[in-house]
Structure 1
Amino acid sequence: MEFRDRYAAGRALAQRLAAWRGRREVVVLGLPRGGVPVAWEVAQALQAPLDVLVVRKLGYPGQEELAMGAIGPGGVRVTSDIPHLWPVSEKALEEVVAREQAELTRRERLYRGERAPLALAGRVAILVDDGLATGASMHAAVLAVRAMQAQRIVVGAPVASVEAVRLLEAVADEVVCVHVPEAFRAVGLWYEDFAQTSDDEVRRLLAKA
């Protein structure tokens, strides 16, 4: 365990991103739910605005923690190697996509209400999550932000697998992590307190921001 909780992890990550402090073009985007407390600390340290970018993992039927891919705003969809290794029917895949799209829409409405997303065109977007296992969700986030015409995309996480970093370095402009262990196993193992972040906590942090 390297971090006491997500807030401590966010402070550690912010130190690695200090070069962006005070830059007016920077926007910090947290991936709900667990990435938002981390992103909150980063945004505070960098003196940057905070928003959310809702993406949803596409879990393998019966083993939902196994990512078949992910979806993001604007119809973005990425797939992993899982469906090739363990084939899933097109019908089952589309059912997962439909369910997660409904949840993505619900969360965007819940977290942001009527407030419009921050404009990203020509800006530096720092995308933050609490950890990167496969990198699928963050991959979808990067593609979504790229479509919003961000000038530069920086991916940040307290901990990530070697495979996730390799994947994201190919699509983002920069990847910044505090730890990239050879033996990754799971994000939660790197936290003393990895309790689930609630919707209320996400809303509270966004309101404070």
Structure 2
Amino acid sequence: MFEDRTAAALQLAERLMIYKGQNPLILAIPRGAVPMSRIIADKLGGELDVVLVRKLRAPSNPEFAIGAINENGQVYLAGHAAQIGATPEYIEAEKAAQLELLRERRLRYTPVHPPADPHDRIVIVVDDGLATGATMIAALHAVRAQQPHKLICAVPVAPAVTLADITSLADETICLETPAVFYSVGQFYHSFPQIDDDQVIAALEAAS
């Protein structure tokens, strides 16, 4: 168990100290990972930004991911999507809805500067934990397309089966815990409050 996101971020920062002084780009998956990533960026002397992805929701269960989309429109679709009733028409409508939300978020989060360029940089993509891994997969695909020098995935906790899907997409994967019994990311934090947009914007503004 982690006490909270701050404790998890400090542990991740310790594992990432090899990159201190190399101006790494720390890309947070909003919203929960943004305060964590600010801590990591401060510890490593890096730059903070967000990588915007949204999960594609299952037709009958919006909490369950059938895939994810990034702000460039690239889509990762899980193999189980069709099995739980996600028709091509449903998927197209869900993609359009989530892409619109991503565009709105970018305007809210970084209105005064364009997204940081990962090209030829050490890039560390951070989330507060993985369940299905759909959003992290979409994020890693999006960053890889921009040709970073090195691409690192850093998370406090994930099931082993999800981590196996992630490992091939990053040059390095750091995960502090891989519990055998996994129901949700929040079960591994004593304190796991929701992070709102105001907190995200404040963290990004403070970092810049």
> Structure 2-normalised TM-score?
0.96
- Partner deviation per Cα, 1:146-198 (whole Å, 9 max, x = no partner): 11111111000011111221011111111101111121221000111111101
- Do residues 142 (structure 1) and 140 (structure 2) align? yes
- Partner deviation per Cα, 1:9-64 (whole Å, 9 max, x = no partner): 1111111111111113x110000001111111111111111001110000101201
Q: How does 1:50-129 map to 2 (within 5 A)?
A: 50-129=48-127
1-structure distance, mates of 2:4, 2:66: 28
Which ranges in structure 1 are unaligned for 5 or more consecutive residues? none
Does the residue aligned with 1:82 lie in a helix, a strand or coil?
coil
TM superposition shift of 1:136: 0.8
Amino acid at match of 1:20: Y
Find the partner of 1:31 among 29, 41, 45.
29
Does the residue aligned with 1:175 lie in a helix, a strand or coil?
strand
Moved over 6 A (4+): none
> Structure 1-normalised TM-score?
0.95
Q: Residues 55 and 135 of structure 2 are in contact (CA less than 8 Å); yes or no, is this contact kept in structure 1?
A: yes
Q: CA RMSD in A?
A: 1.1
Q: Residues 73 and 99 of structure 2 are in contact (CA less than 8 Å); yes or no, is this contact kept in structure 1?
A: no
Does the residue aligned with 2:99 lie in a helix, a strand or coil?
helix
- Partner deviation per Cα, 1:127-153 (whole Å, 9 max, x = no partner): 000001111100100111011111111
1-structure distance, mates of 2:147, 2:180: 34
2-structure distance, mates of 1:104, 1:163: 28
| Aligned match of 2:2 | 3
Amino acid at match of 2:57: G
Give percent identity, aligned residues only. 37
2-structure distance, mates of 1:149, 1:204: 29
Does the residue aligned with 1:62 lie in a helix, a strand or coil?
coil
Does the residue aligned with 1:75 lie in a helix, a strand or coil?
coil
The number of residues matched between the two structures is: 207
2-structure distance, mates of 1:91, 1:103: 19
